[in-house]
Amino acid sequence: MSRARARATAIGFSAILMWALLALFTVGSAPVPPFQLNAMCFALGGAMGLWWTARNGGLGQLARVRWTVYAFGTAGLFGYHALYFSALRLAPAAEAGLIAYLWPLLIVLFSGLLPGERLGPGHVLGALVAFAGAALIVARGATGAADAAALQGYALALACALTWSGYSVLSRRLGAVPTASVTVFCLAAAALSVPAHLATETTAWPETALGWAAVAGLGLGPVGLAFYTWDVGVKRGDIQLLGTASYAAPLLSTLILVAAGAADPGLHLAAATVLITAGAVLAARAGRRVRPG
């Protein structure tokens, strides 16, 4: 691997590490409601993008991107994070986060339905293993009245996974899009979140310095810089290596929550984490073996 490619791959790895902090920072940002949190975080991410774009090719390159690309990218980022933040406000963070992290598996499955691709037995096995992990979470949540209230959060987490996987697969049809376009995605997502917040939520600000730090961490990291570094990684680095490494994100996210005391290290959580991560890995390996007949 050349030095330039290795550097780009390392930059892409940083996105995976930042996304592993998404659940922890979301928990720490309470009691900020989801759409307000969306607006705050994407405003920070967009501002960072303006600075980055101005230093790398100038803001004029934003005018050369088609409006359909901007509309699609904005919908993907806005929808995924609104659902994610809502899910973690309603359900236990570790469990909801694991269900949301079904998206790498769903990307593999949905990609197998594209022209020139096909699904194999390994895809099906991986899906069954991962969904067994998600079923374990939901079944435990349905065992008591208090936990049953979290089922709505689990449903939103699944919708979150479907949104991001569908967005990722469909984005292949857009062709090459410059990294700078992420700036507009973020700013437009922030703008959409403001009326959604005013119409449906009561404004609530972080109550402590740690709460403000969590919001800043989200906007500067998992909901900001991560999109730019991931784009650099997949376009200029080793995309296969990055794709394989991304399946460690649910495991890392859960370990971080447990280490921070934001999740209980119970047996069911450990089992669900292993099943969901293993299922995604199995499906990914099958995807590399299966070729059109």
Domain positions in the chain: 3-289
Which tokens is 215 given? Answer: 């919001």
Which tokens is 139 given? Answer: 């079944």
Kindly report the pTM of this predicted structure. Answer: 0.85
Most confident of 57-71, 119-133, 228-242: 57-71
How many Å apart are CA 128 and CA 276, to the nearest integer? 9
pLDDT tens by residue, 191-218: 999 999 999 999 999 999 999 999 999 9
pLDDT score for 240: 61
How many Å apart are CA 87 and CA 105, to the nearest integer? 19
pLDDT score for 1: 67
Dihedral angle, C-alpha 236, 238, 241, 245, nearest 10 °:
-20
Contact present, 102 and 161 (Cβ < 8 Å): yes
Contact present, 78 and 192 (Cβ < 8 Å): yes
Residue with tokens 């460690």: 248
| Over residues 285-289, mean pLDDT | 62
Contact present, 193 and 4 (Cβ < 8 Å): no
pLDDT score for 233: 84
pLDDT tens by residue, 226-252: 988 887 887 778 766 776 677 788 888
Which tokens is 165 given? Answer: 């996987």
| Over residues 70-75, mean pLDDT | 92
Which ranges in the chain belong to alpha helices (H)? 3-19, 22-28, 34-55, 67-90, 93-100, 103-111, 121-141, 145-148, 151-170, 181-200, 209-220, 226-236, 239-245, 249-259, 267-289
Query: Which residues have CB under 8 Å from 171's CB, separation 6+?
Result: 72, 73, 76, 177
| Over residues 47-64, mean pLDDT | 89
